[in-house]
Amino acid sequence: MNSLFDLSGKTVAITGGGGVLGGGIAQYLAAGGAQVAVLDLKLEAAEAVVSAITTAGGRAVAVEINVLERDSVRNALDQCVKAFGPVDILINGAGGNHPSATTNPQQEFFDLPIEAFRKVMDLNIIGTILPCMVFGKAMADREEGIILNVASMNAFKPLTRIPAYSAAKSGVKNFTEWLAVHMAQEYSPKIRVNAVAPGFFLTNQNRFLLTDKDTGELTARGQSIINHTPMNRFGAPEDLYGTIVWLLSDASKFVTGITIPVDGGYSAFGGV
């Protein structure tokens, strides 16, 4: 069983690796013996994750990347290869929402700045597609590799207030399915592409939308989420690890083109 899930010696590149979820994933994979390139727009955030990994005895390197610029992504790949050799696994963790693309009582959908909407769409969709192009080409040349995208429960059920993010993550899910077929048919069946769809996790981005900054109590939106999550809590980064290891290892070697919800039962609950 251990060998089936073994990732030791694999080289993993993870975009958005300086964030709460990305950083946690990076540290977990490194603890399991993988060599991890932590890619982030904020180099200091990536370096902090790398420091935690190396202190624990793991192997990692911090790499600055702008997932919206092809030259930056190519440079990041070059640095990964220089540090650890060919990249076996790409995790596209970069993404996020923006307050200006969110509706609220003071900002109707009809008045959302289209530039803010476009920024969210670009970060989540282009920020996934472009690394797939660059790192995926290297995998196609080697005829093997694994790509794991990070979608969201928004890909299955659009949430109120965040139209751009919901549409973008739906696009990530659809693109995952398309790319899985394309890579297997056109290049190699040993190249697999899947995605995870986290439910509601507390991150730096949404923490104070779901909990009160001063009291720590749930906001009305946070309470509504808990009410619709049968397991009655938010997700923690470690709740993703088992699913991710399964999708990255030989345990799922006949699995491609799927998006797995990790959501505490949110997608199964009908509200009553």
Where in the sequence numbering do the catalytic residues fall?
165
CA pair distance 253, 244, nearest whole angstrom = 13
Map tokens 């070059």 to a residue: 78
CA angle 99, 171, 252 (to 5 degrees): 120
CB-CB neighbours of 77 under 10 Å: 23
Bridge partners (DSSP) of residue 149 are 92, 195
CA angle 7, 3, 193 (to 5 degrees): 45
Do 126 and 68 meet the contact criterion of CB atoms below 8 Å apart?
Answer: yes
- Which of 222, 174, 167, 218 lies closest to 200, judged by CA? 222
Task: Characterise 65 by phi-psi region: left (phi > 0), alpha (psi -120 to 50), beta (else).
Answer: beta
* H or E element, residue 32: none
